[in-house]
A and B are shown apart, each in its own frame.
Chain A
């Protein structure tokens, strides 16, 4: 594109809504884009990051989510997302029953304390129903029109919209890690759109979240995992 520099949001200014389909769309099962479609996407992002079907899920609601989750089917939508359903999956309204049949116990909880956005959900996923500590946690916000922002994964502060193919890497906080990842992506001709990095402590665990323009080749996981410093490689595809 050849517009004057700086006039377009893509010319350096971050935009919350990336394109025409974040305004017209998504196709979805009603009744609420933020409380149903956005919620389903938050649940689905959590599921894809976690991997298998969790045996148990605590769904903690804040703000407007806490006030109105019953009426909008927010809870059913998040549970549907945890079952890897898309926003226009006709089974969404029946997700609670389907979860039960599939062996996932789920609980809706009203959260207390601070939250980053009026529509915030926190998910605690457990590998086993009896576990005391969750195996995975995620905080997501639903910012309108089905658009979301995942702001926290396992305690790492991140920025992830789910609008692009997303790569989530957990690694040792060591020099050169970002370069390794960037180089591998470059070799595959993958362009990085956005990237967020956080770490728990100096030289401790770190997380990278990369949103890219292209899909990932199947070999990428192995190529990344070959590095000792890289502890986990996960992909999210909920565009």
Chain B
């Protein structure tokens, strides 16, 4: 690759007159010695797997082996009043999901998985997104992101982006935006190259694993990648799109990695849902002309610095943070017993 910073990436893409995604495809082919067509095909296959994971997360039982998580994507979708397009048919959730039994908190707040206005037949009178505070598009992206992360937690097939813990964010915003804007699979595949280009710079200048740099490195990086790619796909100039990365990363700096019981479930899955929403917000900011005053490359350096300073207990060891709360410890004990 000819770039090692986001700035170089953006400037080189602009000089070539290409979007970040198209420039990265060219760079990738140069690096691997394969043809651009071959590289494109591999990425297109990955996008197919992402779409399949969204579908499965919305239609299949995603209760994890621990029983801690699952079915939340469907809850969001039911609450918001169905999918934007009828491409996915969502079966009704009968009562609380089995997974909810293991987390009493979820049961109390979710009731039987019903929205506040359960009397209204879902998807009929209630327009999509009608119940939600977020609105139509963001709530859809959120539910798709949760869907993919739930498929991951239930040992289904996903694409690590950049890791499995953060695998929901990019498919969440990509698949929902594809439906919304009518983008082709080819557009989406180029978008994945853009996301990958941004992740490549972050990973080589900082880190992308929770064990090394906390959750900011996983979920944070995925949000930055998604935000920059979305701006790129919406036609932002590369230098403008790169601002989305810095804007997004600033919002997740310091996020610790504290998976309860060491499982990629709590808080990982909901962080993917939030991450999708944040990615949309950051992309919108950049498209509107909001700039990251601290340049994105410097924010990446801060992530490195903050992650390095994080104690071991907050870097995927499940020895701190949410994992060590009274409830977190209890869950861990119960899991050991179950074994």
Contact = CB atoms under 8 A, between A and B. Distances in A.
Interface of A: 1, 3-4, 7-11, 13, 15-37, 63-64, 67-73, 88, 90, 92-93, 117-119, 142-146, 213
A68 B316 contact: yes
A145 B108 CA distance: 36
B273 interface: no
29 contacts: A8-B1, A9-B204, A10-B1, A19-B28, A20-B200, A22-B203, A23-B161, A26-B160, A27-B157, A27-B158, A27-B159, A30-B153, A30-B155, A30-B167, A31-B155, A31-B263, A33-B164, A34-B209, A34-B211, A64-B315, A67-B262, A68-B259, A68-B317, A70-B339, A71-B262, A71-B264, A118-B212, A118-B315, A119-B211
Interface in B239-284: 259, 261-265
A29 B157 contact: yes
B328 interface: no
B262 A23 contact: no
Given A34-B209, A63-B317, A17 B200 contact: yes
B337 interface: no
B132 interface: no
Nearest to A13: B4
Contact of A24 (B33, B157, B195): B195
Lowest 4 A-B CB distances belong to which pairs? Answer: A144-B209, A68-B262, A3-B2, A30-B152
Contacts of B204: 9, 15-17
Contacts of A18: 31
Scoring B43, B46, B157, B261 by chain A CB atoms within 10 A of each residue's CB, the highest score goes to B157
Contacts of A143: 209, 212
Contacts of B195: 23-24
Q: Which among B157, B264, B315 has the highest number of chain A CB atoms within 10 Å?
A: B264
A168 to B, nearest CB: 22
A72 to B, nearest CB: 6
B199 A24 contact: yes
A8 B163 contact: no
Contact of A68 (B160, B162, B208, B318): B318
Contacts of A16: 203-204
Interface string B301-337: 0000000000010011111000000000000000100
Most interface-central of B155, B160, B197, B204 (chain A CB within 10 A): B160
